[in-house]
C-alpha cells in the first residue's frame, strides 16, 4: 500500500486531495494545465462557480471531490464525463498536473483509491425509498388510512422502482 500511496503523492494528487477524508473541502480550477473539456469530451462547457458568483476568478472552479469510496461511484467529474476510475485518473493527471501517466502509475493510483473504500456500518439505517431528482409538476395528495402514522406514500416508478413522495398534509381549522 505504501507504494500506491507514494505514487499518489509523487504524481502530485495530494496537492488537492489531502486531509482526513483525502480532501480539504476547497475549491480549485478544473483544468489548470489544459482545458478540461478537451480531454473529457464534455458536450457542454460548465463554468463552475462562475455561474453562481459571476466572479471571473471562479471560472472553471469546482469543489475538490473527496476520495473516500470513490471506486464505488462511477461516472466521474461534475458532468459524469469519465466512465471509469482509470480514465478519470489519467484525465486529472493530464489537465491538472500536465503529466501523462504510465499504465503502471495509473494502476497504482487506482489501487490506492480502491483501498479508500470502506464498508457501511451494520447499524447504518437504510432509507426505505429514494427521492426523485425531478418531482412531477402536480402531485395530488394520496389518502392515508385512518390511524396510520406513515409520512410517505408509495407509487410505482416508471423504471420499476418504488419512488417515495412526501405526503402533503392538510391543515385542519
Q: Tell whether 169 is covered by a domain.
A: yes
Residue range of the domain that includes 25? 2-115
| Residue 90 near residue 56, CB atoms below 8 Å | no
Q: Is the pTM of this model over 0.75?
A: no
Q: Which helix (H) or strand (E) holds 113?
A: helix 103-115
Domain boundary among 115, 141, 157: 115
Q: Tell whether 122 is covered by a domain.
A: no
Report the C-alpha gap between 116 and 57 in whole angstroms: 32
- Mean pLDDT check: name the lowest of 37-51, 54-68, 100-114, 130-144: 130-144
Residue ranges of alpha helices (H) inside 41-102 are 50-53, 85-97
Tens digits of per-residue pLDDT, 97-139?
999 999 999 999 999 999 888 876 777 666 555 555 454 544 4
Q: Are residues 134 and 101 in the same domain?
A: no
| Residue 167 near residue 131, CB atoms below 8 Å | no
Return the axis-axis angle of helices 85-97 and 103-115, rounded to nearest 10°.
Answer: 110
Grid coordinates of 116: 479508500
DSSP code for 133: S
Domain count within the chain: 2
Amino acid at each position: 500500500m505504501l507504494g500506491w500511496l507514494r505514487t499518489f503523492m509523487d504524481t502530485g494528487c495530494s496537492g488537492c486531495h489531502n486531509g482526513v477524508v483525502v480532501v480539504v473541502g476547497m475549491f480549485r480550477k478544473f483544468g489548470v494545465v489544459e482545458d478540461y473539456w478537451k480531454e473529457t469530451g464534455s458536450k457542454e462547457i460548465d463554468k463552475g462557480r462562475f455561474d453562481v458568483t459571476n466572479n471571473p476568478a471562479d471560472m472553471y472552479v469546482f469543489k475538490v471531490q473527496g476520495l473516500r469510496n470513490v471506486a464505488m461511484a462511477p461516472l466521474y467529474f461534475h458532468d459524469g464525463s469519465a466512465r471509469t476510475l482509470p480514465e478519470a485518473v489519467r484525465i486529472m493527471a493530464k489537465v491538472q498536473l500536465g503529466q501523462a501517466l504510465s499504465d503502471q502509475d495509473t494502476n497504482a493510483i487506482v489501487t490506492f483509491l480502491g483501498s479508500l473504500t470502506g464498508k457501511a456500518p451494520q447499524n447504518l439505517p437504510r432509507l426505505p425509498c429514494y427521492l426523485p431528482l425531478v418531482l412531477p409538476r402536480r402531485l395530488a395528495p394520496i389518502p392515508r388510512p385512518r390511524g396510520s402514522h406513515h409520512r410517505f406514500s408509495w407509487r410505482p416508478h416508471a423504471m420499476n422502482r418504488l419512488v417515495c413522495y412526501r405526503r402533503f398534509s392538510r391543515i385542519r381549522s
